[in-house]
Structure 1
Amino acid sequence: MDITENAALVVVDVQQGFEETDFWGVRNNPGADGNIAALIDVWQSTGRPVVFVRHDSVTPGSPLRTGREGNGFKGYVEQRRGKGAGAELLVTKSVNSAFLGAPDLAAWLRAAGIGQIVLAGIQTNMCVETTARMGGNLGFDVVFVHDATYTFGLEGPFGWRQSADELARATAVSLHGGGFARVVTTAEVVGAAG
Structure 2
Amino acid sequence: MHTAPALIIIDMQQGMSRPEAGPRNNPQAEANIAQLLNAWRQAGAPLVHVRHISRTSGSPFWPGQPGVEFQPTLAPLASEQVMEKNVPDAFAHSGLERWLRVRGIEQLLIVGVSTNNSVEATARSAGNLGFHTLVAADACFAFAKVDYAGTPRSADEVHAMALANLDGEYARVVLCADILRQLQ
1:79-115 C-alpha deviation (Å, 9 max, x unpaired): x5236xxxx311001101110143x111111110000
1:58 paired with 2:58, answer no
Question: In the TM superposition, what is the alpha-carbon distance from 1:181 to its structure 2 partner?
Answer: 0.4
2:149 counterpart SS class: helix
Matches of 2:130 and 2:42 in 1, distance apart? Answer: 27
* Structure-to-structure mapping, 1:136-175, within 5 angstroms: 136-175=127-166
Q: Secondary structure at the match of 2:12?
A: coil
What is the TM-score of this pair, normalised by structure 1?
0.90
User: 2:72 corresponds to which residue?
Assistant: 75
**Other structure's SS at 2:91 match:** helix
Q: Taking every aligned residue pair, what percent have the same amino acid on both sides?
A: 39
**Matched residue, 1:29:** 26
SS in 1 for 2:63: coil
- 1:97 maps to 89
- Partner of 2:78: helix, strand, or coil? coil
Partner of 1:20: 18
Contact 2:40 2:46 (8 Å CA) reproduced? yes
2:108 maps to 117
- Aligned-residue Cα RMSD (Å) equals 1.3
Return the offset for 1:175.
0.7
Q: Which residue of 2 aligns with 1:186?
A: 176
Aligned residues of 2:113 and 2:142 also touching (Cα < 8 A) = yes
Q: CA offsets per residue over residues 113-151 of structure 1, 9 Å max, x none?
A: 000010000101100111000000000000100100111
State the Cα distance separating 1:6 from its structure 2 match: 4.3
Corresponding letter in the other structure for 1:100: A
Structure 2 Cα separation of the partners of residues 38 and 158 of structure 1: 38
Q: CA 1:128–1:168 in 2, change beyond 3 Å: closer, same or farther?
A: same
CA distance in 1, matches of 2:17, 2:125: 27
State how far apart, in whole Å, the 2-side matches of 1:59 and 1:162 are. Answer: 26
**Contact 2:4–2:183, Cα closer than 8 Å, also in 1:** no
Deviation of the 1:158 alpha carbon: 3.0
Please, which runs of 5 or more residues in structure 2 have no aligned partner? none
Taking structure 2 as the reference length, what is the TM-score of the superposition?
0.94
Per-residue CA deviation, residues 18-47 of structure 1 (Å, 9 max, x unaligned), is: 11112x111111000000000101111001
Residue 98 of structure 2 aligns to a residue in which SS?
helix
Report the Cα distance in structure 1 between the residues aligned to 2:146 and 2:86, rounded to whole angstroms: 22
Query: Offset of 1:172 from its aligned partner?
Result: 1.4
